[in-house]
Chains A and B, each alone.
Chain A
Amino acid sequence: MSNPKEIIIEIKDLRKVYKIGTEKVVALNKIDLNIHKGEICCVLGTSGSGKSTLLNMMAGLEKPSRGTIQIKGEAIEKMSEKKLAKFRQKNIGFIFQSYNLMTALTALENVAMPLIFRGTPRNLREKIALKHLAMVGLKDRYKHRPTQMSGGQQQRVGIARAFVGAPEIIFADEPTGNLDTKTSIEIMHIMWKMAREKNQTIVIVTHDPEVALYADKVIHIRDGDIQSIENREEDDVMEKYIKPYEATYVKI
């Protein structure tokens, strides 16, 4: 695809220490990591390994104790709350483990939400949102509310919402954590296809090795340190997982 050398996220000497009472807990010890544009990246680790902390810091939700995180050349740990909010609106999509859809809103309204904050006019944003709902295979359910949908469907709405603003980076925090295996594969498939289509970067945090199978780069993390980084050939993923899946389930 595009230039694989282009670094979009650059993490240097990252450390995070939590103070619990008088005790210090090291969540991340010393992380150095580069993520390239268009990469589908998976941070794999057990609970307590520090993988979620890493994601939160990349998304600017937490400040590191030390070190820098540069996204598109900008040091996000130095940004003010206000600037961060603007930066997130422009560049970042977020997928949650528990979907976090607005229960009062329909699928369409949920997907259109990030566009509302951008000030996109109603007609246009509904058109874009509907297109993204179609991409995740929920075109017919745009009027449904989250409570009327299954977990897999809700997560698909969540994915559509993350992609709707065409952000360059999408962070996914255990996107399949609440789903069964079959649905998980379905979700990963959708995310993979959508990200590839527009050369978007995805960072997925998970403890599920099966999810990691879809990644171009798997970062194994343990007790606050990177143990190993595993790079895969893009075509490998395509041949091994995407094609067989499409052969089995032609339609989502």
Chain B
Amino acid sequence: MSSIDLALMGIKNLLRRKARTILTVLGVVIGTAAIVVMVSLGLGMNKAFEQQLEEYGSLTMIDIYNNMMYEGMRGDSTGFGDTSTDQVYLDDETINMIESMDHVEFAIGFKRFDSKIYAGKYENYSNVKAVDLSKLALMNIKLSQGVMPSVEGQYEALFGFQVAQNFYDPQSRNPYGNPPQINIFEDKIELLPSSQYYEGRRPRGYILKPTGVTSETDWTYAWDIFMDYETFEKLKADFDRKNKTDDGNGSTGGNSRKPKSNEKVNKYDEMKVSVDNVKNVQEVQDQIKAMGFEAYSLTDALENMKKTSAMIQAILGGIGAVSLFIAAIGITNTMVMSIYERTKEIGVMKVIGAQLKDIKRLFLFEAAMLGFFGGLLGIAFSYGVSFIINSVISGMTGDSGYYGPQILSYIPAWLALLGLGFSTIIGLVAGYYPAVRATKLSALEAIRTE
């Protein structure tokens, strides 16, 4: 018996008993939809985690800080020269070392300076992060406006998107009550590389040229101003010379002393290392820690979140599996009933030349079809449910939400296909017992009249 004939016959048989077929399929629809929706909630949760983490920062970035314990010890000791054997520094040499590691794409150092910027009568305490601009370009910082700054331009800078919001009027009684609208591209932005408070007239600053603003989706650099390291160093030296403000507040990180000629210093407060793949982050992070630095990445958090969500997914999937199991019993029941009803027909088929395997295949096919169509409709239904869940949730928290509309239920193509395959296999398994039973039916009993 050819497969096409078998399929046609099977489908005809199913259509002959519409009501029962529909009810059985409905059971599978509910079972499949239960599993798919449950798993989709788990996946949605995973996705939300990842989205959230990405807003905290890139998953392939490792943040490095100098080991603060050494700093403290050195602060107390008088002869710091001899403690420096174990001391590690965030300098260009370290960058070169880290960049020579496997899986490392690049390493970038930042030096933070507490500074002030002015726009007309408004002022703004901000961090200037001095950085190698060519490397900053590698970080693929998303911009909402403008372009990345270049070394060639005069005092070019990249602004975090929150910086413009932090201006206030120091003369006002309620300086933060009514934030001014500053357009950093239009208004004249003046930088003072010092956070010192000036009574009366402040010294002259340096006119910045903002070239771009970071994207609102990434809060990592929201309050920073990026400038070229060398340019800023010169600018600051120039300022210090003119104003003789050796206030020791030029930088944070406790390293404000003038370095001796051959003394190693922390050129940077902070470094970021970009790793080629999330999988390798842990390995690189461990190597950096072994060098004596503090290193942080989001992989630890991600691991934990993934573990939690896997557990939740298993529980949700289990709940769905129960309903699919009940649907499987429904298929078996339908097929067994069908055998009782078709006893005579099966007997006649056997007598007029049906092979045992034909009968077996016919019943298996019918059961598999119940599973398949149930699965197909179940997945269509799941997409509907998923859509409703997502639109209701985003309707509730959507625009007010910090991270934009959250995905609660997510059905990727593989889940849909898996659900379909699974329900079909469930149909086959559920149909196996009835199919074997049909082949064992005595033809004689079946055709006996009266």
Interface residues of A, Cβ cutoff 8 Å to B: 56, 59, 61-62, 81-82, 85-86, 88-89, 92-94, 96-98, 100, 102, 104, 113-114, 116-119, 121-122, 161-162, 165
Chain A, residue nearest B357 (CB): A82
For A118, what are the chain B residues with a Cβ–Cβ distance below 8 Å?
Answer: 1, 353
For B356, what are the chain A residues with a Cβ–Cβ distance below 8 Å?
Answer: 81-82, 85
A-contacting 9-mer, from B32-40, B94-102, B397-405, B442-450 = B442-450
Contact B16 A104 (CB under 8 A): yes
The B contact surface, by secondary structure, is helix
For B443, what are the chain A residues with a Cβ–Cβ distance below 8 Å?
Answer: 61
Q: Mark B1-30, 1 if CB is under 8 A from A, else 0.
A: 110010001001100100000000000000
Contact A104 B12 (CB under 8 A): yes
Instruction: Tell me the smallest distance from the CB of B412 to a CB of chain A, in Å.
Output: 41
Interface residues of B, Cβ cutoff 8 Å to A: 1-2, 5, 9, 12-13, 16, 344-345, 348-356, 358, 442-444, 447, 449
From B5, B351, B358, B442, name the one whose CB has the most chain A CB atoms within 10 angstroms: B351
Contact A113 B352 (CB under 8 A): yes
Q: When chains A and B are docked, how far (Å) is the Cα of A98 from the Cα of B358? A: 24
Instruction: Tell me the smallest distance from the CB of A108 to a CB of chain B, in Å.
Output: 14
For B449, what are the chain A residues with a Cβ–Cβ distance below 8 Å?
Answer: 96-98
For B358, what are the chain A residues with a Cβ–Cβ distance below 8 Å?
Answer: 117
For A86, what are the chain B residues with a Cβ–Cβ distance below 8 Å?
Answer: 355
Instruction: Tell me the smallest distance from the CB of B13 to a CB of chain A, in Å.
Output: 8
Instruction: Tell me the smallest distance from the CB of B16 to a CB of chain A, in Å.
Output: 5
Can you list 26 pairs linking A and B with CB atoms under 8 Å apart? Answer: A61-B351, A61-B442, A61-B443, A61-B447, A82-B356, A85-B350, A85-B354, A85-B356, A88-B350, A88-B353, A98-B449, A102-B345, A102-B348, A104-B12, A104-B13, A113-B353, A116-B2, A117-B1, A117-B354, A117-B358, A118-B353, A119-B1, A119-B2, A121-B2, A161-B352, A162-B352
Chain A, residue nearest B439 (CB): A81
Chain B, residue nearest A62 (CB): B444
For A119, what are the chain B residues with a Cβ–Cβ distance below 8 Å?
Answer: 1-2, 5
Chain A, residue nearest B342 (CB): A102
Known: A104-B12, A104-B16. A117 touches B353 (CB 8 A): yes
Chain A, residue nearest B449 (CB): A98
Instruction: Tell me the smallest distance from the CB of B204 to a CB of chain A, in Å.
Output: 95
Contact B355 A165 (CB under 8 A): no
Instruction: Tell me the smallest distance from the CB of A64 to a CB of chain B, in Å.
Output: 13
For A56, what are the chain B residues with a Cβ–Cβ distance below 8 Å?
Answer: 444
Instruction: Tell me the smallest distance from the CB of A101 to a CB of chain B, in Å.
Output: 8
Q: When chains A and B are docked, how far (Å) is the Cα of A121 from the Cα of B3? A: 11
| 10 closest Cβ pairs, A-B complex | A89-B353, A61-B444, A114-B353, A117-B353, A100-B348, A98-B449, A94-B351, A117-B354, A116-B5, A114-B352
Instruction: Tell me the smallest distance from the CB of A133 to a CB of chain B, in Å.
Output: 16
Known: A116-B1, A116-B5, A117-B1. A96 touches B355 (CB 8 A): no
For B16, what are the chain A residues with a Cβ–Cβ distance below 8 Å?
Answer: 104
Instruction: Tell me the smallest distance from the CB of B29 to a CB of chain A, in Å.
Output: 26
Contact A88 B444 (CB under 8 A): no
Instruction: Tell me the smallest distance from the CB of B12 to a CB of chain A, in Å.
Output: 7
Q: When chains A and B are docked, how far (Å) is the Cα of A113 from the Cα of B5? A: 10
Instruction: Tell me the smallest distance from the CB of B300 to a CB of chain A, in Å.
Output: 62
Besides A88-B351, A96-B447, A117-B355, 10 more A-B contacts (Cβ < 8 Å) are A61-B443, A61-B444, A62-B444, A81-B356, A85-B355, A88-B350, A88-B353, A92-B353, A100-B344, A104-B13
For A88, what are the chain B residues with a Cβ–Cβ distance below 8 Å?
Answer: 350-351, 353
Chain B, residue nearest A90 (CB): B353
For A121, what are the chain B residues with a Cβ–Cβ distance below 8 Å?
Answer: 2
Chain A, residue nearest B12 (CB): A104
Q: When chains A and B are docked, how far (Å) is the Cα of A136 from the Cα of B64? A: 94
For B344, what are the chain A residues with a Cβ–Cβ distance below 8 Å?
Answer: 100
For B354, what are the chain A residues with a Cβ–Cβ distance below 8 Å?
Answer: 85, 89, 117
Instruction: Tell me the smallest distance from the CB of A94 to a CB of chain B, in Å.
Output: 5
Q: When chains A and B are docked, how far (Å) is the Cα of A113 from the Cα of B358? A: 12
CB < 8 Å: which of B1, B345, B352, B355 contacts A82?
Answer: B355
For B345, what are the chain A residues with a Cβ–Cβ distance below 8 Å?
Answer: 102
Chain A, residue nearest B445 (CB): A61
Q: When chains A and B are docked, how far (Å) is the Cα of A244 from the Cα of B28? A: 64
Known: A116-B5, A117-B1, A117-B358. A100 touches B353 (CB 8 A): no
For A92, what are the chain B residues with a Cβ–Cβ distance below 8 Å?
Answer: 353
Q: When chains A and B are docked, how far (Å) is the Cα of A71 from the Cα of B274? A: 83
Contact A59 B351 (CB under 8 A): yes
Instruction: Tell me the smallest distance from the CB of A109 to a CB of chain B, in Å.
Output: 9
Contact B352 A94 (CB under 8 A): yes
Q: When chains A and B are docked, how far (Å) is the Cα of A56 from the Cα of B16? A: 31
Instruction: Tell me the smallest distance from the CB of A144 to a CB of chain B, in Å.
Output: 17
From B2, B344, B345, B443, name the one whose CB has the most chain A CB atoms within 10 angstroms: B443
Instruction: Tell me the smallest distance from the CB of B436 to a CB of chain A, in Å.
Output: 12
For B351, what are the chain A residues with a Cβ–Cβ distance below 8 Å?
Answer: 59, 61, 88, 94
For B355, what are the chain A residues with a Cβ–Cβ distance below 8 Å?
Answer: 82, 85-86, 89, 117
Chain A, residue nearest B358 (CB): A117
Q: When chains A and B are docked, how far (Å) is the Cα of A89 from the Cα of B2? A: 15
Q: When chains A and B are docked, how far (Å) is the Cα of A102 from the Cα of B351? A: 13
Chain B, residue nearest A100 (CB): B348
Q: When chains A and B are docked, how far (Å) is the Cα of A56 from the Cα of B352? A: 13
Instruction: Tell me the smallest distance from the CB of B348 to a CB of chain A, in Å.
Output: 4
From A81, A86, A93, A165, name the one whose CB has the most chain B CB atoms within 10 angstroms: A81
Instruction: Tell me the smallest distance from the CB of A84 to a CB of chain B, in Å.
Output: 9
For A94, what are the chain B residues with a Cβ–Cβ distance below 8 Å?
Answer: 351-352
Instruction: Tell me the smallest distance from the CB of B352 to a CB of chain A, in Å.
Output: 5
Q: When chains A and B are docked, how far (Å) is the Cα of A86 from the Cα of B1? A: 12
